[in-house]
Chain A
Amino acid sequence: MRRLLPLLVGVLCAFGSAARAQAPTGGAGENVVQRGEYLARAADCAACHTPPNGQEFTGGYKFSLPFGTIYGPNITPDKATGIGDYTDDEFVAALQRGVGRGGKHLYPAMPYTNYTLMSREDVLAIKAYLFSLKPVHAESPPNALSFPYNQRWAMVFWNLLNNPDRRFQPDTSKSAAWNRGAYLAEALGHCQACHTPRNFMYGLDEGRAYGGAVVQDWLAYNITSDRDSGVGAWSDDDLAAYLSTGHATHHGSAAGPMAEAVDHSLRYLTQPDIRALVTYLRDVKPVHDEIPAAKPVQADALGARIFREACVSCHALDGSGRQTPYAALQGAHSARDPNGTNLLQILLRGGNIATGGPTAFMPAFGGEYTSEELAAVANWTIGHFGQRGGEVTRKSVEGVRPGGPGSAAQPTPGG
């Protein structure tokens, strides 16, 4: 969720036009600061405004974009380096219209095309929360963008095209839970930013909303209600468990950006809110993918060997997961993708997921194992646990290796 680039994010149009009901207000808490904290979690502000291993909201998180590098700014109430001088209107303008102080247009790494749907009341609650924090003096490194992207005025046109500046309109034909879920998913959680594919203009392909997309080398799965390609066959409990803990029995564990989303954001949501998200997702129009017919599982001696040596200690030979359910591979989404998109990411870079309980982690194997070996173990895993014919090749591994030719993400610091 972090690191994603909602460039030219299209207008969301899932919402009925004339509905007049109030946008549901957010939050579990009664006072505005607590409510703001909850909303800030739901909107996952920390993901982009916290430096790696650093103090929350002090900025400096680095986005390496095709046209340069930008940094998530400090959003603690420090006057010199943070947002201490923002008035209410200025803060609202930033979130709802992508306009910063002094009329500067914000770079579109900030998902204000989603945040625009938030009510002013909620935006100000977030502000109240941020202003309750200790101001931290922390200068972000200067952005380094190439022309014309370093011209903030160019953003005016971008915003004209892409940011309608409109609030969430509830659909009165739907339940309160559905509307709450829609608000959480669309205004705050910006789920589509990853899970909806892009069209040729890099806008969202609305015909395939939530139909799954590859973002920064990770596959954000099809989470429509399609029973085969999406999550239609999951039970409500499984979906809820996955969202709040990053793991559901027989569906595997979240990794990569989704693990971060759980870690920073989703795990803090109340159960009613999680259930509301489930209600909303259940209603998303099914998108069906033609998945290549299962090929017979090939016996891959090399893949089996690597799995036996380096993987069984945690995953167990039968994929049941040895010490923690997070290590279960049976039914794991990642093993059902013949291209092994996410499997390769986690093999190459390792992973980490904190869900309030013990942290589950996987070390990176990209450093020592050859692309040939990683392709073999990925295909073996897909064949064995996904019951599909894996199509991972040495080339496809090389393409996403940290530092490799096609790799989008930076190598994870410290492995």
Chain B
Amino acid sequence: MLTLSINGTSHQVDVPDDMPLLWVLRDVIGLTGTKFGCGIAQCGACTVHLDGQAVRSCVLPASLAQGRDVKTIEAMAQDPVGQKVQRAWLDLEVVQCGYCQSGQIMSATALLTTTPKPNDADIDAAMAGNICRCGTYVRIREAIKRAGEA
């Protein structure tokens, strides 16, 4: 039995220690905003925050999330930086199919929390781990800058 703090709520889950957090979120707790894209930390679709840092939940054993603060896309509307990011995403119409965007927003929010005015190199470093098959990169870059100015 693991005890996980997710979006400020404590959850008791009976899962194997090495079960990746992604599947605990999606299949056990029912928070499906966090997406499965690759399962090997290559695409970023599953990005969540662990104590504020963007991590890939598909390779994060749930047991390592115990005692730490997990935040998912579902909590971003309550996060002051997350809100700005979501606003910029809508204003610049970043989204296409949307499947990668939870992960993109989580990575962007983590970046903007530590680096409120990121330059292109900061954006490259923080966002290159997030794939978008629809190719929304041009707008993601713009929207991060916009959110940084908001």
Contact = CB atoms under 8 A, between A and B. Distances in A.
Q: Do chains A and B touch in the complex (CB under 8 A)?
A: yes
B42 interface: yes
A308 B41 contact: no
A324 B42 CA distance: 16
Contacts of A308: 124-125, 128-129
Given A322-B56, A324-B64, A313 B44 contact: yes
B63 interface: yes
A66 interface: no
Contacts of B41: 313-314, 323, 363
A65 interface: no
Contacts of A284: none
B18 A358 contact: yes
B55 interface: yes
B134 interface: no
A310 B42 contact: yes
Interface residues on B, range: 10 to 19
A314 B61 contact: no
Contact of A357 (B17, B53, B124): B17
Contacts of A322: 53, 55-56
B63 A312 contact: no
A414 B59 CA distance: 18
B124 A313 contact: no
B95 interface: no
A317 interface: yes
Interface string B48-90: 0010010110011101100000000000000000000000000
Contacts of A361: 40, 59
Interface residues of A, number: 16
Contacts of B64: 323-324, 358
A314 B50 CA distance: 13
Interface in B114-139: 124-125, 128-129
B53 A313 contact: no
B60 A357 contact: no
A358 B16 CA distance: 9
Contact of A358 (B50, B63, B125): B63
A313 to B, nearest CB: 4
A359 interface: yes
Given A313-B44, A323-B55, A359 B18 contact: yes
A309 interface: yes
A312 B129 contact: yes
A272 B127 CA distance: 46
B128 A323 contact: no
Contacts of B60: 323-324
Most chain B beta carbons < 10 A, residue from A308, A309, A317, A358: A358
A184 B56 CA distance: 39
B55 A317 contact: no
Given A313-B42, A314-B41, A358-B18, A323 B59 contact: yes
6 contacts: A309-B129, A313-B41, A323-B55, A357-B18, A358-B61, A363-B41
Interface of B: 17-18, 40-42, 44, 50, 53, 55-56, 59-61, 63-64, 124-125, 128-129
Interface of A: 305, 308-310, 312-314, 317, 322-324, 357-359, 361, 363
Given A312-B129, A313-B129, A323-B55, 7 more contacts: A305-B128, A308-B125, A313-B56, A314-B41, A317-B125, A323-B50, A363-B40
The 8 residue pairs across chains A and B that have the minimum distance between CB atoms: A358-B18, A358-B61, A323-B60, A313-B129, A313-B41, A308-B128, A309-B128, A363-B40
